[in-house]
Each structure stands twice: as structure tokens, then as C-alpha cells.
């Protein structure tokens, strides 16, 4: 039986609580589908920074690099900062994203039956994926911007042909694997940019157009980022796969999560050609930490995404079955209105939700 080495970074705030529930569900999946995950838990994060002055030592970075996949809770605390004001979470998440070339940020946006959306009419469904360019764009300047005499500050947006080609190709390949948008099953990749104002985004769009030529079965679609925020609220059923530059995708991802029940429902994967990291879209939410209140669903679904990615990489069908099993178990739990955390209108604890998903997985036929 193949064993998979998983580097686990529970992190800060609610990170350890939601990670424990994801591991609980992954353990149930191992028993049911017959595979082995060897976890290696790492003490990285803001709390470690406060204790030792180092957020993630090099030795831990190497462990992440050697692992088959990385599972993360949440890193960062608002008060843990470098002298220049930057929060220390970038020491981990940016280091891993840039160091391991995790160029594709994959954020599924799915409204599950039984979860209330703040949108008035969701009868046509919400089921799309945002693909975020993760290693270029404006955030590539995160430590390279310039500040002159405290009077002038600049950051430079980075767009390379290689980077934009890779991310748009990733989006089209993903669209080929999916069954299209919820209304009519049409496969469509929407390019979100500001090509009408900035030459960098016009370049992004031109490369997208070149790549799209190679995918005649997938429809092209465009939206300017400002209009996109409107469409995400008024017609989210229109979308299948959405691709965007790093900062724009960061912003529209938070909006998308609000439409499906909040950050506690939004999983994500940071995926490269050789490595991948899976974590909920939310941060460490320190105000609710340590109280068994956090919604673990986003982290549980991130664990499911991890199995799916490992399955493709290692041609191991059991892992794909397990990923689908976890998704079905989450759906089954959410359909029963009585098990859910407070953020989505319930009174259950973090661990009760994890227990319910693990039990639903075990009882599935
Ligand atoms: P970061 O900048 O680190 O991504 P953030 O500023 O976006 O963090 P979060 O830590 O994600 O903030 O939390 C924002 C708010 O969302 C929290 O105060 C909390 O109320 C809510 N929230 C986030 N995640 C969860 C969760 N898993 N369960 C319940 N509520 C959550």
C-alpha cells in the first residue's frame, strides 16, 4: 500500500482546531478506502514567531518541500509583525507559494444545499472555481516595493508570458475536467482583468486569448474586475472557471466566499507542477479561537482537494474515491439542518461538525 507523507501546519488561532477536524475526516477516509497518510506536524506560524523570532525555520521548509502534499490550517496573528509592519504570515505562505512555485490558487465556490446564501435568488446554483495566479502580479512586489523618504511609495506589477500562459492553461485544463456551469453545463473560462486601463492586464488578456485558441471546446469570456464584483452578486450561475491576476483574484475570492455562506465554507489549494498546499481560504480568526466555534468545513474540503490532487499525481484511484466520499459526506451533513456551526446559522461546535462528517463518511455505501 502506498504511503503519503503529509506536512501539516496547523498554525495559529482557529488553525489547529479546524486542522484537527480535517485530520479526523482524513483518518476516517484512510480506514474506509485503504490508503495511508503519514502526517508530520510542524510548529510554524505567528505564535512561533512571537516565541522564537522565526515564523518557519529552514528545516521545516525543507520538510514541506520533501512532502507529498502540505495541509495547512491558518497562519498569522494581527499583532505578529515585522518591524516594517508586514504580518508574519507571508514568511510561511509566500515562502511556500514562491519557493515551491505553487502558481495556481484554486478556490472552488460552491453553494451547498442547506446553506443559506445572502443572495436573494440562487435558484440557478453557484458552482464555479476561481483560479488565482499565485506567484506574479502585484503581490510579487511584496518585499521589493520602494518607499522614498516616506513620501513616495511604489509597487510594481509583474506579468510574464510564462506565468500568464501557465495559469490560463491551468484554468482551461480545469474547465475540461469539470462538467461546466450549473445552468447549462457549458464549459467556459472567464478572464478577469482591467485590460481597458492598464497595459499589464491587456497583456494578461492577450496571452489568455492565445492559450484559449488551443481549447476550442471551452468558451471564452471576459469581465473587468469592477464589473465582476457585480456579476458575482447578481449572476454567479454564469461562471464555470474564472482566471485572474494575483491581487484581483484575492479580492474576488473573498466576495465569492460570502455568497456561499462565508469564509468557513471556502476551501483552497495552492498548486504547482511538483508540489501543492491545501488550506481553508480563511485566516486565523483570533476572536473566535480556542472556543470550539470555528467552522471546519473549509479545511475538511481542502483535505478532500488534497486527496484529489494526490490521486491525479500518483494515479491512485482510491484517493479520488475518498475525495468524492468526503464531498458527499459534507453534503449529507449540511442537508441536515441541525449540524452546523454558528457562522452558517447553527449551534454545533467545531468538533461536532467534524464528528458528523467522519460518521457520514463511514456510513456511506
Ligand atoms: P487573513 O488576513 O489572515 O486572511 P482575515 O482578516 O481575512 O484573515 P479571518 O481570520 O479569515 O480574517 O476571519 C475574518 C472573520 O471571518 C473572523 O472574524 C470570523 O468571524 C470569520 N471566520 C473566518 N473563518 C471562520 C471559520 N472557519 N468559522 C467561523 N467564522 C470564521
Distance CA 341, CA 261 (A): 11
Q: Are 295 and 337 found together in one domain?
A: yes
Asked if residues 259 and 112 have their Cβ atoms less than 8 Å apart, the reply is no
Residue 226 is among the residues annotated as catalytic for this protein: yes
Compute the distance from residue 198 Cα to the ligand 1 centre, in Å: 32
Residue span of the structural domain in which 153 resides: 118-259
Output the pLDDT for position 1.
Answer: 66
Confidence category of residue 152, pLDDT binned at 50, 70, 90? confident
Output the pLDDT for position 86.
Answer: 85
Instruction: Name the more confident of 336 and 58.
Output: 58
In 3-state terms, what secondary structure has residue 81?
Answer: strand
Q: Are 231 and 294 found together in one domain?
A: no
Q: Are 354 and 235 found together in one domain?
A: no
Evaluate whether residue 244 is within a structural domain.
yes
Q: Are 142 and 243 found together in one domain?
A: yes
Residue 346's domain is classified under what CATH number? 3.40.718.10
Output the pLDDT for position 145.
Answer: 66
C-alpha cell at 262: 462565508
Q: From the CB of 261, is ligand 1 less than 6 Å away?
A: no
Number of domains within the chain:
2
Q: From the CB of 282, is ligand 1 less than 6 Å away?
A: yes
Task: Return the closest-CA partner of residue 24 out of 346, 360, 364.
Answer: 360
Evaluate whether residue 283 is within a structural domain.
no
Residue 201 is among the residues annotated as catalytic for this protein: no
Mutate to test the pocket of ligand 1, among 105, 255, 283 (most ligand atoms within 8 A of CB): 283
Evaluate whether residue 265 is within a structural domain.
no
Using the CB atoms, write b or e for 95-125: b if 16+ within 10 Å. bbbbebbbbbbbbbbbbbebbebebeebeee
Evaluate whether residue 113 is within a structural domain.
no
Evaluate whether residue 201 is within a structural domain.
yes
Evaluate whether residue 11 is within a structural domain.
yes
Mean pLDDT confidence for 284-309: 98
Q: Are 255 and 165 found together in one domain?
A: yes
Q: Are 139 and 248 found together in one domain?
A: yes
Residue 143 has pLDDT above 90, yes or no: no
285 CA: nearest ligand 1 atom: 10
Residue 149 has pLDDT above 90, yes or no: no
Evaluate whether residue 7 is within a structural domain.
yes
pLDDT tens digits for 212-256?
A: 999 999 999 999 999 999 999 999 999 999 999 999 999 999 999
CB atoms within 10 A of CB 161: 11
Q: Are 66 and 157 found together in one domain?
A: no
Q: Are 244 and 143 found together in one domain?
A: yes
Residue 254 is among the residues annotated as catalytic for this protein: yes
Q: Are 241 and 173 found together in one domain?
A: yes
pLDDT tens digits for 70-112?
A: 999 999 999 999 998 889 999 999 999 999 999 999 999 999 9
Residue whose CA is closest, atom 5 of ligand 1? Answer: 283
Partners of 9 in beta bridges: 72
Q: In angstroms, how far apart are the furthest CA atoms of the chain?
A: 66
Mean pLDDT confidence for 157-185: 97
Asked if residues 139 and 290 have their Cβ atoms less than 8 Å apart, the reply is no
Q: Are 96 and 122 found together in one domain?
A: no
Residue 270 is among the residues annotated as catalytic for this protein: no
What pTM, to 2 d.p., does this model score? 0.95
C-alpha cell at 32: 474506509
Distance CA 198, CA 206 (A): 13
Amino acid at each position: 500500500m502506498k504511503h503519503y507523507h503529509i506536512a501539516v501546519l496547523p498554525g495559529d488561532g482557529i488553525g489547529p482546531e479546524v486542522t484537527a477536524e480535517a485530520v479526523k475526516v482524513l483518518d476516517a477516509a484512510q480506514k474506509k478506502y485503504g490508503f495511508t497518510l503519514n502526517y508530520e506536524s510542524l510548529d510554524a506560524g505567528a505564535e512561533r514567531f512571537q516565541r522564537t523570532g522565526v515564523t518557519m525555520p529552514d528545516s521545516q521548509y525543507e520538510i514541506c518541500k520533501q512532502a507529498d502534499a502540505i495541509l495547512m490550517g491558518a497562519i498569522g496573528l494581527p499583532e505578529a509583525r515585522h518591524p516594517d509592519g508586514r504580518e508574519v504570515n507571508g514568511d510561511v505562505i509566500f515562502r511556500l507559494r514562491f519557493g515551491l512555485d505553487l502558481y495556481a490558487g484554486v478556490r472552488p465556490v460552491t453553494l451547498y444545499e442547506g446553506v443559506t446564501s445572502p443572495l436573494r435568488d440562487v435558484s440557478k446554483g453557484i458552482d464555479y472555481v476561481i483560479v488565482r495566479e499565485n506567484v506574479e502580479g502585484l503581490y510579487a512586489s511584496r518585499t521589493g516595493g520602494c518607499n522614498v523618504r516616506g513620501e513616495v511609495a511604489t509597487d510594481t506589477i509583474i506579468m510574464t508570458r510564462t506565468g500568464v500562459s501557465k495559469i490560463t492553461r491551468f484554468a482551461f485544463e480545469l474547465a475540461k475536467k469539470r462538467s461546466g456551469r450549473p445552468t447549462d453545463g457549458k464549459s467556459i473560462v472567464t478572464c478577469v482583468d482591467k485590460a481597458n486601463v492598464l497595459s499589464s492586464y491587456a497583456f494578461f488578456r492577450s496571452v489568455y486569448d492565445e492559450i484559449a485558441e488551443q481549447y476550442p471546446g471551452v468558451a471564452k469570456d471576459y469581465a473587468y474586475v469592477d464589473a465582476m464584483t457585480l456579476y458575482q452578486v447578481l449572476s454567479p450561475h454564469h461562471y464555470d472557471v474564472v482566471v485572474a491576476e494575483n491581487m484581483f483574484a484575492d479580492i474576488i475570492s473573498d466576495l465569492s466566499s460570502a455568497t456561499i455562506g462565508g469564509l468557513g465554507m471556502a476551501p483552497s489549494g495552492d498548486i504547482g507542477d511538483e508540489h501543492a498546499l491545501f488550506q481553508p481560504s480563511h485566516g486565523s480568526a483570533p476572536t473566535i479561537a480556542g472556543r470550539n466555534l470555528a467552522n471546519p468545513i473549509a479545511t475538511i474540503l481542502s483535505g478532500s482537494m488534497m486527496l484529489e490532487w494526490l490521486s491525479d499525481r500518483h494515479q491512485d484511484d482510491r484517493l479520488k474515491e475518498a475525495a468524492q466520499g468526503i464531498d458527499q459526506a459534507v453534503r449529507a451533513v449540511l442537508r441536515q439542518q441541525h449540524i452546523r456551526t454558528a457562522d452558517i446559522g447553527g449551534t454545533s461546535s467545531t468538533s461536532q461538525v467534524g464528528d458528523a462528517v467522519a460518521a457520514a463518511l463511514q456510513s456511506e455505501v
